[in-house]
Structure 1
């Protein structure tokens, strides 16, 4: 057996078993990726009432930071009560009551895995997964012998995919 055939065989074997090993996490990424498309809607989200004690007499900026609300904005103030979208904050007591819309727990965990940042230990897994997907892209070219019709036709599909990707990125 030649070295080229041995390399091709090894690529196929690694591609196959890595694919089996990562099948579950690929399903999680696929599902959470689709769900993330709808993150700015209420799709699949349930409303939850939150009561939280924060620092009394907080500024508007501090309230938003402590409640972890992006684009926090005060709608109106009546005495000690500050009204904001979906909630209130009592300046004298520090009590904040508001509603949030959250995904069910399992979907929340899936999207958290998908969006892990460098502060999160999960990001090492995301790096491994990303590199594994890159390996799949490269090793796919060793799945068929270059002189076969399937391989040559596959190159046309590859070119079509690259062109579609470029159109999506730049249009």
Structure 2
């Protein structure tokens, strides 16, 4: 059995890592709340971008060039193609596309949540996950196994685990 000194040392590491991860958890919490509203315009603003394309494109060719999800031509006249996200001048080849996105710091937070292995942010996501796993393990190692807080902690953690599994299975 581990000594009380081991448990006290683990408490100290748990506290230090906890303070460090508190800032990271705040960022993840805010970006997680933002992602709940990602299909709405909540906190998003409109921004226009201009792209120079070939002149004289058809509606179908324009959609392929712009690569906009759900692209659909609304109006096609002699000089201009109008679509839901903007317009295209057939003579000049200039396309104006309107996008809605979060302001600078918020869009970076959302990208943090969506990071994949092709993004350098995935290292932070892995480090955060490992830090949380350390919390899970160290929370139980802070108390002696025969102590009442340890036994009650196991029960509460079991209830939390069952709750999380049920929400994941039946919540979506």
Q: TM-score, normalised by structure 2?
A: 0.83
- State the partner residue of 1:41: 40
**The residue matched to 1:22 in structure 2 has which SS?**
helix
Q: 1: CA distance between counterparts of 2:102 and 2:148?
A: 47
**The residue matched to 1:120 in structure 2 has which SS?**
coil
Q: Alpha carbons of 1:136 and 1:55: their partners in 2 closer, same or farther (altered >3 Å)?
A: farther
- State the partner residue of 1:98: 97
Q: 2: CA distance between counterparts of 1:15 and 1:28?
A: 20
Q: Is the 1:48–1:102 contact (alpha carbons within 8 Å) kept by the matching residues of 2?
A: yes
Q: 2: CA distance between counterparts of 1:53 and 1:135?
A: 51
Q: Is the 2:51–2:95 contact (alpha carbons within 8 Å) kept by the matching residues of 1?
A: yes
Q: 2: CA distance between counterparts of 1:31 and 1:94?
A: 40
Q: Alpha carbons of 1:91 and 1:9: their partners in 2 closer, same or farther (altered >3 Å)?
A: farther
The one-character-per-residue Cα deviations of 1:111-154 (angstroms, maximum 9, x if unpaired) are: 12222222222211221111111111221112333333332222
Which range moves more in the overlay, 117-126 or 35-44? 117-126
Asked if 1:17 is matched to 2:16, the reply is yes
- State the partner residue of 2:64: 62
Q: Is the 2:4–2:144 contact (alpha carbons within 8 Å) kept by the matching residues of 1?
A: no
Asked if 1:108 is matched to 2:102, the reply is no
Q: What is the total number of aligned residue pairs between the two structures?
A: 167
Q: Report deviation, 1:60.
A: 4.0
- State the partner residue of 1:71: 70
RMSD, matched Cα: 2.2
Q: Is the 1:146–1:152 contact (alpha carbons within 8 Å) kept by the matching residues of 2?
A: yes
Q: Report deviation, 1:61.
A: 4.3
- Structure 1 runs (4+) deviating above 4 angstroms are none
Unaligned runs of 5+ in 2: none
- State the partner residue of 2:156: 157
Q: Alpha carbons of 1:53 and 1:60: their partners in 2 closer, same or farther (altered >3 Å)?
A: closer
